[in-house]
Amino acid sequence: MFDTVGEWLDKMELKYQKNEEKRTFVLPYDINNVKFMVIILVFPEKWIKIGALILRAEKVTEEMYLALLQENWNLFEVTYSVDEQGNIFSENDIPHTSNYENFVSEFQAVIFGVINFFEKIAPKFQAKAVDTYNSEAWV
């Protein structure tokens, strides 16, 4: 499945770095001249995780976490998540049985989650979009 995901990214004409040992793809994605890090993890347990790093933990307030949970309720196909460090992601998990069309749809939903965050949630907290792309930790 790892090679298939690479083929799908090639078909989407996206530039990426990959680490076969970690089963990880990392790519920059430009939204309004801000470079966000998109991470794709291909788990051997039959799942693929697509996530875009929205905000690093040092920029997040406690109130934002509640706003994210509330927004999760209102959105379809978009999930806001928080990692162990408190970083905020837009992410989706899809099974290995997914096809190219489903992968593209889920990828685009992750990107929509980033856009939605900065249109609907960030203004309430005066949060600004900053580059989150840094592949070194992932590849």
The pLDDT value recorded for residue 138 is 62
Task: Residue 84: give the domain boundaries.
Answer: 2-137
Count of structural domains within the chain: 1
Position 70 confidence tier, pLDDT thresholds 50, 70, 90: very high
Mean of pLDDT values over 26-39? 95
C-alpha pair distances (Å), 73 with each of 23, 97, 107: 31, 26, 19
Residue 106: Cβ within 10 Å count: 19
Task: Give the CATH number for residue 8.
Answer: 3.30.1460.10
pLDDT surpasses 90 at 19: yes
Position 34 confidence tier, pLDDT thresholds 50, 70, 90: very high
The pLDDT value recorded for residue 16 is 96
